[in-house]
């Protein structure tokens, strides 16, 4: 087997193993992805692994599998691409994952509003700039006064309210554990009374993006962006409404209450300050690895996590931790990888803004890079995508009629008013891995389900079609 084919088989194995591990790690509290969906496509052998049943995870890759031809893809896809449910503004491209060659395209280099497929750029930038093993610290320091402690935010917005949960992505670091450690350190120093402060200076600029629709914030689709939150600003576990209006201070208030429960008297309410350089570290907890956080973000299209990661990339690359710093940093990072960003215009890093512009070609550029095996930091990107009919935002989209794409389509979804997008990978019936991106930004506003079905039909057709002639 050739080197490139071996890389492809490695990607498949990583996909299967990655999903099995992530289910154990409880990446989405209250949602179990180990159960099969309503539709149960037949099991099929994947190189190196035998599945006993349930949804397939890609198809076997074959070293000598022929690439689809443009005429065959046009024959199979042209009618599907002209579906009324997609509207009149559609960008689409299919590329060979092995060679990167464009196989079929329609307005692929025309900028469209991408919705949450924007998060693929954010994930790529975060993994390359920060590294998949990066973890974000929440630290308690002495000061600024002799009877003060300061909670120094480091970018963990998936903190838990209680004890740390090492096997989980959300709540991996817990405020209860941080308080326990702080209380123990204070008591060791003979301190029993403190005032609590908060330092969020790692981020800069407004916490809310003025280009977001008001209902996005009010409806709980995103929280004000600060570098310290419990469960991405959710007030109740697993519920998007309501979100805290000041997530960092809400988290610090929880910490203060936990500190009191540990026998430390807290004077007054928490206030904001700046931690003193060189001050004593009393306690620290660390988030899950970045690769796990990225998977959570892509699986459930978490806007708050995406915006936070964008700002962390900005800080890492020497920019202000603001919205403007984030969009510049993300765009620059993917450009350095060779992605054509000439017609890319970002106004956030989550895809909530209707002002964002992205091409289908830029998305397939990125996906080819991730599938190539040439960038070790990107090895976890494709295994982090939702799987049709199995998990994440594709969990229920392929489960009603035993679609051939169930278990075989791995893709990031996107949805805004009159906008739908889908970008990811499939392995076709010949065993050739393909990358694809589909963006429709003038869809009928009153039938989103039909739009999703039209998009899913295209991805499913790629999966079931050999299309080599």
Of 142, 168, 291, 301, the catalytic one is 301
Q: Give the residue-averaged pLDDT of 325-331.
A: 98
Among 236, 266, 288, residue at a domain's last position: 288
Among 288, 305, 335, residue at a domain's last position: 288
Q: How many residues does the chain have?
A: 469
Q: Is residue 197 part of a domain?
A: yes
Among 250, 270, 288, residue at a domain's last position: 288
pLDDT band for position 403 (cuts 50, 70, 90): low
In the chain, how many domains are there?
2
pLDDT confidence of residue 43:
26
Q: Give the residue-averaged pLDDT of 377-399.
A: 92
For 47-75, b where at least 16 C-beta lie within 10 A, e where not — what string? beeeeeebbbbbbbbbeebebbeeebbee
349 and 440 both lie in a single domain: yes
> pLDDT: is 237 or 242 the higher one?
242
Q: Give the residue-averaged pLDDT of 363-378.
A: 96
Q: Residues 408-423: pLDDT tens digits?
A: 899 999 999 999 999 9
pLDDT of 2 over the 70 cut? no
Q: Is residue 423 part of a domain?
A: yes
pLDDT band for position 237 (cuts 50, 70, 90): confident
Q: Residues 32-45: pLDDT tens digits?
A: 222 233 333 322 22
229 and 282 both lie in a single domain: yes
Q: Is residue 453 part of a domain?
A: yes
Q: Residues 75-85: pLDDT tens digits?
A: 999 999 999 99
186 and 107 both lie in a single domain: no
280 and 325 both lie in a single domain: no
Q: What's the CATH code of the domain at 163?
A: 3.50.80.20
pLDDT of 327 over the 50 cut? yes
Rounded Cα gap, residues 337 and 344, in angstroms = 15
CB contact at 8 A, 150 and 143: yes
Q: Is residue 469 part of a domain?
A: no
Cis check: omega of the bond before 356, within 30 degrees of 0: no
pLDDT band for position 59 (cuts 50, 70, 90): low
Q: Give the residue-averaged pLDDT of 60-77.
A: 88
Q: Please tell me the pTM assigned to this model.
A: 0.88
53 and 142 both lie in a single domain: no
pLDDT confidence of residue 49:
20
Active site residue 322: no
pLDDT band for position 56 (cuts 50, 70, 90): very low
pLDDT confidence of residue 36:
31
282 and 392 both lie in a single domain: no
pLDDT confidence of residue 60:
67
Cis check: omega of the bond before 144, within 30 degrees of 0: yes
pLDDT of 313 over the 90 cut? yes
User: In which domain, by residue range, is 152 found?
Assistant: 137-288
Q: Give the residue-averaged pLDDT of 326-350.
A: 97
305 and 430 both lie in a single domain: yes
pLDDT of 450 over the 60 cut? yes
Active site residue 421: no
Residue 326 φ then ψ, to 5°: -65, -45
pLDDT confidence of residue 19:
31
pLDDT confidence of residue 161:
97
pLDDT band for position 214 (cuts 50, 70, 90): confident
Q: Is residue 232 part of a domain?
A: yes
pLDDT confidence of residue 58:
57
Q: Residues 145-181: pLDDT tens digits?
A: 999 999 999 999 999 999 999 999 999 999 999 999 9
Question: Mean pLDDT of all residues in the chain?
Answer: 87
> pLDDT: is 368 or 4 the higher one?
368
Q: Is residue 399 part of a domain?
A: yes
Q: Is residue 427 part of a domain?
A: yes
Q: What's the CATH code of the domain at 22?
A: 3.40.710.10
363 and 380 both lie in a single domain: yes
236 and 352 both lie in a single domain: no
434 and 316 both lie in a single domain: yes
Of 119, 165, 258, 412, the catalytic one is 119
pLDDT of 399 over the 60 cut? yes
Q: Is residue 364 part of a domain?
A: yes
Q: Give the residue-averaged pLDDT of 457-464.
A: 94
Rounded Cα gap, residues 57 and 388, in angstroms = 9
Task: Please give the DSSP secondary-structure letter assigned to residue 351.
Answer: S
Active site residue 116: yes
Highest mean pLDDT among 22-31, 126-135, 214-223: 126-135
pLDDT of 14 over the 60 cut? no
25 CB-side CA count, 13 A: 21
166 and 141 both lie in a single domain: yes
Percent of the chain with pLDDT over 90: 78
pLDDT of 135 over the 80 cut? yes
pLDDT confidence of residue 4:
33
346 and 437 both lie in a single domain: yes
Q: Give the residue-averaged pLDDT of 197-211.
A: 96
CB contact at 8 A, 307 and 353: no
């Amino acid at each position: 087997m050739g080197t490139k084919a071996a890389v492809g088989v490695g990607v498949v194995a990583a996909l299967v193993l990655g999903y099995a591990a992530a289910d154990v790690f409880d990446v989405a509290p209250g949602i179990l992805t180990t159960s099969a969906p309503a539709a149960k496509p037949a099991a099929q052998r994947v190189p190196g692994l035998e599945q006993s049943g349930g949804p397939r995870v890609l198809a076997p890759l074959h070293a000598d599998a022929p690439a689809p031809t443009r005429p065959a893809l046009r024959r199979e896809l042209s009618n599907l691409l002209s579906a009324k449910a997609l509207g009149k503004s559609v960008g689409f491209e299919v590329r060979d994952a092995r060679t990167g060659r464009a196989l079929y395209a329609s307005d692929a280099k025309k900028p469209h509003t991408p919705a949450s497929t924007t998060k693929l750029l954010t994930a790529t930038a975060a993994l390359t700039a920060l590294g998949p093993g990066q973890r974000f610290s929440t630290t308690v320091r002495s000061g600024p006064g002799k009877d003060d402690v300061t909670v120094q935010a480091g970018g963990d917005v998936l903190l838990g309210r209680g004890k740390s949960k090492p096997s989980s992505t959300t709540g991996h670091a817990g405020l209860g554990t941080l308080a326990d450690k702080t209380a123990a350190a204070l008591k060791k120093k003979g301190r029993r009374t403190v005032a609590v402060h908060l330092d969020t200076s790692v981020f800069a600029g407004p916490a809310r993006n003025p280009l977001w629709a008001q209902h996005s914030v009010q409806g709980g689709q995103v929280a004000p962006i600060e570098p310290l939150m419990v469960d991405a600003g959710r007030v109740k576990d697993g519920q998007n409404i309501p979100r805290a209006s000041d997530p960092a201070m809400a988290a610090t208030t929880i910490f203060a209450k936990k500190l009191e429960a540990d026998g430390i008297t807290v004077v007054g309410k928490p206030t904001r300050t700046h931690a003193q350089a060189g001050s004593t570290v009393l306690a620290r907890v660390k988030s899950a690895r970045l690769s796990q956080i990225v998977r959570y973000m892509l699986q459930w299209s978490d806007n708050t996590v995406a915006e936070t990661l964008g700002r962390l990339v900005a800080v890492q690359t020497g920019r202000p931790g603001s919205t403007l710093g984030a969009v510049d940093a993300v765009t620059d990072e993917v450009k350095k990888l060779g992605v054509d960003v000439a017609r890319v215009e970002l106004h956030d890093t989550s895809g909530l803004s209707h002002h964002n512009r992205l091409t289908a070609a830029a998305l397939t550029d990125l996906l080819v890079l991730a599938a190539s095996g040439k960038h070790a930091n990107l090895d976890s990107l494709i295994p982090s995508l939702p799987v049709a009919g199995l998990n994440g935002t594709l969990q229920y989209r392929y489960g009603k009629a035993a679609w051939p794409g169930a278990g075989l389509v791995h893709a990031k979804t996107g949805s805004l008013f009159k906008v739908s997008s889908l970008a990811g990978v499939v392995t076709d019936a010949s065993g050739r891995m393909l990358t694809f991106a589909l963006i429709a930004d003038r869809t009928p506003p009153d039938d989103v389900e039909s739009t999703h079905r039209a998009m899913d039909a295209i991805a499913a057709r790629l999966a079931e079609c050999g299309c080599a002639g």
